[in-house]
């Protein structure tokens, strides 16, 4: 800390540092505890150690560190400040249980900037702030983020704050929580950040509000964090505050019209109809950051002439709103005119919600006309600019639509596109030059069809459930697995849904158990609950609704056909939103088009084999709302797996863990929470956990890969392909993990080596060899194939001296099933692996750039391990290998300095520089350089190829590297010594330019 900024300090100085301070800026060190001295000494030590790059140099310094620079007994208290501030423990962390008011005043009057996040600012708070502004330096800026707490502003002096900011506009700014935002997380933070340019900022976090009770009279806990001790924490706190302060979730206190609206609405208690009406006039809809990014990407695609766009977005992330913002962009492209639009959806509820969303965002009250359910039956389609219709109505008027051109066509819930009615409309209205959009949360159907093919194969955006939860677009989830012992489903086939099975799910005994669970987790007559009960059948929903009402709960029935429904669906949903109903018993009406953000509980009382249906049902509760964390109660884990071999108990875990595959889930189940997004949790007791693991293993055995493999001799490739695609299994992970395999481990290794290859032409060459039983014309591909298959061959093997015989041995009769699977593996990658590189491969090593391989495969590529006559042996493995034809190979990995034989290596992919630490014994002394070293440095006469293992490749736990290029130029070389086993060893650190 040789340069000292102006400000206050609590810093123990060295004698040299003390010269930077005036005499009255220094205090004599008084009695302090050991912790204080250690804290101060750590600053000194860190600064010194930063001067050294090598571990050995740091160790040497630690052995001699205080020979020349002794600590003094002088403590800096300020720099270039006239006034001396008395503040305790500026350099230390501590917990404060009383006298917070005194502590805070010391902070307020001694800092450069003040940043406060606090839910309550009362008249007392405003009075205190006014005094602080009067008594502190004019350069001190105060920024505050606060809230109305409950929409009624009982705890916030809005008028007082507005007057304060108007009186001191250059000294204080206040932002207030925007309760209009549908994506708002309620403000519960209480933090006080006092920034100091001297590096001694303070952060207070705890239970204390900026009120008289919080600061003076109440019993509160606060933790003080010193920047001197925790620099990174303070840096993060500053960044978080600054980001929040600029977020559109908060409104400036001087935006009086918006503030008045928030103050007067008493938002949580107004009828929905009134809010909808008020929002039309007062709410300013702005896209969230992720929606802005989607819109920006769309404009780029539009400029590139791309006409078809699929939006894959998890339920609740604002698919329709995003399209409304995109339509707003199109208005400008169409010279501020409305592009003609046809909006098609499978249900009227979706259409009503979509039309409302477009009207609100575009601020056009009469946007669009309805064409469904007998509304506007004689509509002249050609004369209308914007039409909202169902696929059924559209199909009935298909001839009229064929003759009408629309600038924009939108298919909502586009995963239905294979349905005849949808497909007819698609074929009728999609022209070569109109813009076509699809909206879906689940593009992959259970029948294997992916609707991407209708929208150009490349989605505009792909935000799945995991990403939406991780990025806080949706609310977090507490997912409870409930062991349902109330019923015995042994022998029941859930797909058949026969009478006895339905009666069992609807029994009083089971309703008793469901109600008992409600009492244990939610309590009786809990008015805050908005729970959806997903039932197996209409009868099931009816009996549960009656049962809950009989037990005093506010329940309602919402099904498509039932004489027991007392009100139309719209009124039932309105009652549910406004709290007149707490439990909604449903069967089939909430899968699409239902939009009630207040839902905070979901009960899965029925099993489903459809991932699409499951995601739609779960999505009903994922919309963000004030103070909300969704609770899910899953009662469907007691299915008889022996009968229901296709029932997948993985679905809830897969969708919440970014689609971990079967093997990974079984292996990682005991710490599955570490793979969940955001603050989502899975909750189950040990008994349920063991039962679920058992079911997962049963599911594994039900779908055991060997059952498919047994049919390979007479079977077809499509069986193999569907195994990976239907179950979402990654082919590399599959062959890497061994839970499925009990056979020859050598064969498993061969599978793994083939599965890693990422060059299309190489795989096509391998496929040709296996199909035609002969080598290809490219010798490099042949070398790779032979080394990958005969990876451990040695001189004792009779095939060692004859590669032609080795090739013939591959196709012996007892190898047929194995070769067929190997062929299927390659064919699958060629057909399905979108990450394959399309290098044009020739006999040059350079043409294989970026291929994944291990060091022996790399040697084989360079002709070192095999040729077209025989195999050869090579044991060189010292970081650099001498190959043929004046070629060398550098084999290196990312930072491994902490390992036994580790090296400090890194590769700058952007600028093509390799920072490489040589093998032991290399030197910069020209007279003592080794042969390999001289050849590597001679880039004119020798080619040195580099394979490098990045951190991402290292995570695969395989010796897998990437061919990144050739050494083009040696930029720097520096002699270093490392201490190993008590000895100093010479090495050279190189900076190599790669081409």
895-951 pLDDT tens trace = 665 555 556 788 999 999 999 999 888 999 999 998 999 999 999 999 999 999 998
Class of domain 289-463: alpha beta
- pLDDT (0 to 100) of residue 267: 39
Q: What is the 3-state secondary structure (H, E, C) of 295-343?
A: HHHHHHHHHCCCCEEEEEECCCCCHHHHHHHHHHHHHHHCCCCCCCEEE
Within a 10 A sphere around the Cβ of 104, how many other Cβ atoms?
Answer: 22
Instruction: Give the count of alpha carbons within 13 A of 913, CB side only.
Output: 9
Instruction: Kindly give, in sequence order, each residue whose CB lies less than 8 Å from that of residue 808, ignoring residues fewer than 6 positions away.
Output: 773
Integer Rg of the chain from CA: 35
Instruction: Kindly give, in sequence order, each residue whose CB lies less than 8 Å from that of residue 546, ignoring residues fewer than 6 positions away.
Output: none
Backbone angles phi, psi at 16, to 5 degrees: -65, -40
Q: How far is CA 117 from CA 190, 627, 892, in A?
A: 5, 17, 49
- pLDDT (0 to 100) of residue 289: 84
The SS3 assignment for 699 reads helix
Q: Does this model's pTM top 0.85?
A: no
477-702 and 289-463 share a CATH fold: yes
Q: What is the CATH number of domain 477-702?
A: 3.40.50.300
- pLDDT (0 to 100) of residue 266: 36
Q: Which of the four CATH numbers 3.40.190.10, 2.30.280.20, 2.170.190.11, 3.40.50.740 does domain 876-995 have?
A: 2.30.280.20
For the sheet with 386-390, list strands across it.
369-371, 386-390, 341-345, 408-411, 435-440, 308-313, 461-463
- pLDDT (0 to 100) of residue 203: 95
How far is residue 707's CA from residue 701's CA, in Å, rounded to a whole number?
9
How far is residue 60's CA from residue 55's CA, in Å, rounded to a whole number?
9
The per-residue pLDDT for range 467-494, each reduced to its tens digit, is 888 888 888 899 999 988 888 777 777 7
Strand 408-411 and strand 435-440: the pairing is: parallel
Tokens of 243: 């980001």
- pLDDT (0 to 100) of residue 712: 39
Domain boundaries, the chain: 7-79, 94-265, 289-463, 477-702, 876-995
How far is residue 750's CA from residue 250's CA, in Å, rounded to a whole number?
58
Q: How far is CA 450 from CA 317, 454, 647, 672, 713, in A?
A: 21, 9, 21, 29, 29
Domain range 94-265, CATH architecture? 2-Layer Sandwich (3.30)
Residue whose structure tokens are 């990658």: 829
Give every residue of the chain whose pLDDT is below 50, as ranges.
149-154, 180, 182-183, 264-282, 704, 706-714, 738-742
In contact, 792 and 746? CB cutoff 8 Å: yes
Backbone angles phi, psi at 967, to 5 degrees: -70, 120
Between the two ends of the chain, the Cα-to-Cα distance in Å is 42
Tokens of 220: 């509160």
In contact, 422 and 411? CB cutoff 8 Å: yes
């Amino acid at each position: 800390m040789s340069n000292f900024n102006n400000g206050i300090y609590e810093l123990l100085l060295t004698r040299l540092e003390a010269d930077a301070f005036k005499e009255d800026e220094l205090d004599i060190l008084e009695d302090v505890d050991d912790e204080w001295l250690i804290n101060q000494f750590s600053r000194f030590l860190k600064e010194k150690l930063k001067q050294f790059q090598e571990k050995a140099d740091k160790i040497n310094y630690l052995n001699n560190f205080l020979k020349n620079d002794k600590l003094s007994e002088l403590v800096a208290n300020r720099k270039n400040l006239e006034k001396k501030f008395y503040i305790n423990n500026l350099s230390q962390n501590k917990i404060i249980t009383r006298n917070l008011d005194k502590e805070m005043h010391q902070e307020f009057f001694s800092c450069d900037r003040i940043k406060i996040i606090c839910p309550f600012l009362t008249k007392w708070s405003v009075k205190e702030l006014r005094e602080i502004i009067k008594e502190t330096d004019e350069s001190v800026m105060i920024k505050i983020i606060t809230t109305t707490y409950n929409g009624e502003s009982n705890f916030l002096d809005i008028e007082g704050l507005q007057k304060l900011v108007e009186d001191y506009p250059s000294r204080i700014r206040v932002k207030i929580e925007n309760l209009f935002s549908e994506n708002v997380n309620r403000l519960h933070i209480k933090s006080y950040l006092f920034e100091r340019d001297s590096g001694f900022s303070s952060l207070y976090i705890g239970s204390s509000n900026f009120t008289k009770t919080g600061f003076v009279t109440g019993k509160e806990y606060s933790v003080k964090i010193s920047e001197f001790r925790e620099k990174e924490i303070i840096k993060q706190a500053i960044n978080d505050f600054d980001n929040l302060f600029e977020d559109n979730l908060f409104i400036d206190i001087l935006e009086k019209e918006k503030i008045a609206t928030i103050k007067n609405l008493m938002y949580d208690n107004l009828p929905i109809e009134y809010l909808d009406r008020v929002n039309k006039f007062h709410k300013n809809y702005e896209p969230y950051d992720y929606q802005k990014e989607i819109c920006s990407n769309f404009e780029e695609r539009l400029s590139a002439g791309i006409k078809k766009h699929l939006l894959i977005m998890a339920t609740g992330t604002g698919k329709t709103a995003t399209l409304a913002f995109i339509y707003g962009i199109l208005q400008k492209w169409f010279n501020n005119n409305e592009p003609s639009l046809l909006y098609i959806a499978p249900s009227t509820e979706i259409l009503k919600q979509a039309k409302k969303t477009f009207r609100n965002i575009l601020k056009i009250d009469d946007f669009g006309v309805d064409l469904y359910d007998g509304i506007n039956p004689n509509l002249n389609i050609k004369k209308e600019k914007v039409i909202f219709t169902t696929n059924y109505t559209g199909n009935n008027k298909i001839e009229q639509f064929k003759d009408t051109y629309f600038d924009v066509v939108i298919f909502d819930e586009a995963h239905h596109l294979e349905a005849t009615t949808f497909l007819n409309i698609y074929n009728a209205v999609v022209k070569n030059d109109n813009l076509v959009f699809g909206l879906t949360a689940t593009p992959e159907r259970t029948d294997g069809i992916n609707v991407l093919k209708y929208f150009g194969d490349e989605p505009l955006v792909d935000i799945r459930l995991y990403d939406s939860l991780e990025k806080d677009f949706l609310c977090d989830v507490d997912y409870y697995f409930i062991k349902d012992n109330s019923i015995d489903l042994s022998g029941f086939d859930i797909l058949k849904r026969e009478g006895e099975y339905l009666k069992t799910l609807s029994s009083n005994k089971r309703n008793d158990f469901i109600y008992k669970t409600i009492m244990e987790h939610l309590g009786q007559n809990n008015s805050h609950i908005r729970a959806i009960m997903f039932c197996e059948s209409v009868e099931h929903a009816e009996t549960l609704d009656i049962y809950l009402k009989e037990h005093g709960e506010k329940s309602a029935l919402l099904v498509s056909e039932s004489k027991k429904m007392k009100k139309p669906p719209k009124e039932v949903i309105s009652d549910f939103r406004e709290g007149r109903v707490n439990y909604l018993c449903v069967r089939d009406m909430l899968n699409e088009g239902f939009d009630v953000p207040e839902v905070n509980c979901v009960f899965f009382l029925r099993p489903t084999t459809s991932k699409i249906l499951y995601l739609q049902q779960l999505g009903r509760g994922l919309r963000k709302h004030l103070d909300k964390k969704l609770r899910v109660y899953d009662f469907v884990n007691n299915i008889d797996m022996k009968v229901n071999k296709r029932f997948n108990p993985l679905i809830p875990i897969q969708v919440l863990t970014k689609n971990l595959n079967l093997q990974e889930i079984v292996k990682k189940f005991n710490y599955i929470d570490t793979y969940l997004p955001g603050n989502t949790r899975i909750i189950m007791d040990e008994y349920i956990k063991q039962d679920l693991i058992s079911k997962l293993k049963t599911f594994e055995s039900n779908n055991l890969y060997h059952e498919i493999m047994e049919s390979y001799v007479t079977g077809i490739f499509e069986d193999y392909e569907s195994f990976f695609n239907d179950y979402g299994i990654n082919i590399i992970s599959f062959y890497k993990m061994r839970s499925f395999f009990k056979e020859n481990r050598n064969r498993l290794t061969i599978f793994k080596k083939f599965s890693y290859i990422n060059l299309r032409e190489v795989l096509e060459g391998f496929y040709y060899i296996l199909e035609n039983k002969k080598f290809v014309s490219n010798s490099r591909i042949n070398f790779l194939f032979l080394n990958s298959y005969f990876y451990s061959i040695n001189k004792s093997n009779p095939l060692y001296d004859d590669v032609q015989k080795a090739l013939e041995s591959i196709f012996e009769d007892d190898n047929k099933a194995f070769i067929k699977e190997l062929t299927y593996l390659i064919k699958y990658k060629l057909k399905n692996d979108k990450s394959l590189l399309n290098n044009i491969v020739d006999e040059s090593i350079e043409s294989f750039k970026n291929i994944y391989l291990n060091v022996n495969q790399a040697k084989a590529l360079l002709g070192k391990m095999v040729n077209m006559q025989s195999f050869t042996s090579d044991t060189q493995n010292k970081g650099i290998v001498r190959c043929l034809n004046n070629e060398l190979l550098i084999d290196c990995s990312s930072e491994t300095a902490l390992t036994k034989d580790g090296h400090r290596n890194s590769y700058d992919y952007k600028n093509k520089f390799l920072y490489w630490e040589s093998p032991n014994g290399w030197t910069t002394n020209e007279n003592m350089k080794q042969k390999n070293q001289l050849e590597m440095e001679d880039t004119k006469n020798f080619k040195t190829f580099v394979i490098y293992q990045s951190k991402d490749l290292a995570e695969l736990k395989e010796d897998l590297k990437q061919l990144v290029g050739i050494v083009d130029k040696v930029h720097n070389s520096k002699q270093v010594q490392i201490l190993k086993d008590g000895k100093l060893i010479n090495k050279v650190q190189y900076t190599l330019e790669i081409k």
